[in-house]
């Protein structure tokens, strides 16, 4: 299985209930849910949707989209002028907004922890997504590596701005889809840095809006973003992740910070620690008595060159978990700032 670049870095979160309506504690990412077999079997359709998409691709091949999929795309082209736009956030913990794919409306998570687009297969079929018949990639994911099929959307619309064609990853199993999008699919698409890199992105969690401002640079920074933070006397590197809620650390980092006595792999789901981090300083702002969860971020089955590119972060900085603040991520200068409203 090919690992394309960073894949998805560490992907997404959700505050939604499971198929059995079992509530997940706040701060636990959807990719970290432990799904029962009953919950997985109750949410069917991924394999069937991919099968129908395969048949459609065999009957109506699209060489121009095959070429896009093979191009290792890391920036989705804009299909028109880019303008400043303010988008309302949907109810919930995470920055989910209205969007459309090939003209079909959906809700999409704006995820700075993801380096490319992703889509639920059932929605992808409805939106006429073109599926590559052979390409599969690995996506680095907390506690596991997910297998994704690759496809292409001709057009993504966000705030009246259009982008495309966009390479898109689709989880190849129902469990993988539930892990990325939540068993009840509160959003059907994930808009990652391949689109967000066009902008300076301002997440205002008090006013419940996100502002997209074109930064105007010809060669914006791409891929996932790491920020150097200070955890007490220790420096840590955190992946800036709007698709997560709160602070997540690797077990080894938690031991180094005195929050955990022994480092053991924490796979499948996060574990909230009894001890809190007394002080975390990010972008010159101090956070006190910070709750911490542990999760293994980079796994043994990921090739060494991908681990090196991923830069082995010490943890995740889940933006929405730090209260009603304003976080600004400038992909042009690759800088992050945080301020009260």
pLDDT > 80? residue 54 = yes
pLDDT of residue 147: 84
Handedness of CA 266, 270, 271, 273 (dihedral sign): positive
> What are the DSSP calls for 255-281, one per residue?
HHTTS-SS-----SS-EE-SS-EEEEE
Please tell me which of 130-144, 219-233, 236-250 the model is most confident about, judged by mean pLDDT: 236-250
> What are the DSSP calls for 43-58, one per residue?
S--HHHHHHHHHHHHH
pLDDT of residue 140: 55
DSSP code at position 160:
T
Complete domains list, the chain, with CATH = 30-214 (2.40.70.10), 226-325 (2.40.70.10)
Residue 216 pLDDT class (50, 70, 90 cuts)? confident
Q: How far apart are the first and last CA of the chain?
A: 45
Instruction: Give the burial string for 125-141 (b: 16+ CB within 10 Å, else e).
Output: bebebbbbeebebbbbb
Q: 231-243 pLDDT, tens per residue?
A: 999 999 999 999 9
pLDDT > 50? residue 14 = no
Q: 271-281 pLDDT, tens per residue?
A: 899 999 999 99
* Mean pLDDT over each residue of the chain, to the nearest integer: 82
Going by their DSSP bridges, the two strands 117-119 and 166-171 should be labelled as parallel
Q: Which of 28, 243, 27 is nearest to 114 (CA)?
A: 243
Percent of residues, the chain, with pLDDT higher than 70: 78
> Rounded distance, CA 49 to CA 68, Å?
22
Model's pTM, two decimal places?
0.84
Q: Summarize the confidence of residues 41-66 as an average pLDDT.
A: 87
């Amino acid at each position: 299985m090919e690992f394309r670049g960073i894949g998805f870095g560490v992907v997404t979160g959700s505050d939604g209930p499971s198929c059995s309506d079992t509530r997940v504690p706040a701060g636990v990412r959807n990719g970290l849910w432990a799904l029962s077999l009953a919950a997985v079997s109750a949410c069917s359709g991924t394999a069937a949707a991919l099968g129908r998409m395969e048949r459609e691709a065999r009957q109506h091949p699209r060489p121009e989209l095959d070429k896009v999929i093979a191009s290792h795309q890391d920036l989705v082209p804009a299909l028109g002028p880019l303008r400043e736009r303010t988008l309302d956030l949907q109810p919930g913990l995470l920055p989910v907004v209205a969007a459309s794919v090939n003209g079909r409306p959906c809700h999409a998570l704006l995820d700075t922890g993801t380096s490319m687009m992703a889509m639920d297969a059932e929605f992808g079929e409805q939106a006429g997504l073109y599926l590559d018949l052979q390409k599969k990639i690995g996506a680095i994911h907390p506690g596991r590596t997910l297998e994704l099929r690759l496809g292409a959307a001709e057009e993504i619309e966000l705030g009246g701005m259009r982008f495309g064609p966009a390479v898109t990853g689709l989880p190849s199993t129902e469990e993988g889809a539930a892990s990325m999008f939540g068993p009840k699919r509160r959003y059907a698409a994930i808009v990652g840095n391949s689109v967000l890199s066009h902008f300076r992105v301002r997440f205002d969690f008090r006013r419940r809006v996100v502002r997209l401002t074109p930064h105007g640079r010809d060669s914006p920074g791409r891929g996932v973003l790491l920020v150097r933070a200070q955890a007490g006397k220790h420096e840590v590197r955190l992946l800036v992740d709007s698709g997560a809620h709160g602070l997540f650390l690797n077990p080894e980092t938690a031991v180094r910070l005195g929050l955990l006595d022994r480092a053991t792999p924490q796979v499948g789901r996060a574990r909230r620690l009894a001890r809190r981090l007394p002080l975390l300083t990010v972008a010159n702002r101090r956070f006190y008595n910070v709750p911490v969860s542990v999760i293994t971020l980079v796994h043994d089955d990921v090739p060494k060159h991908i681990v090196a590119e991923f830069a082995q972060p010490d943890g995740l900085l889940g933006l929405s978990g730090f209260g009603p603040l304003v976080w600004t991520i400038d992909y042009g200068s690759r800088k992050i700032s945080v301020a009260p409203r």
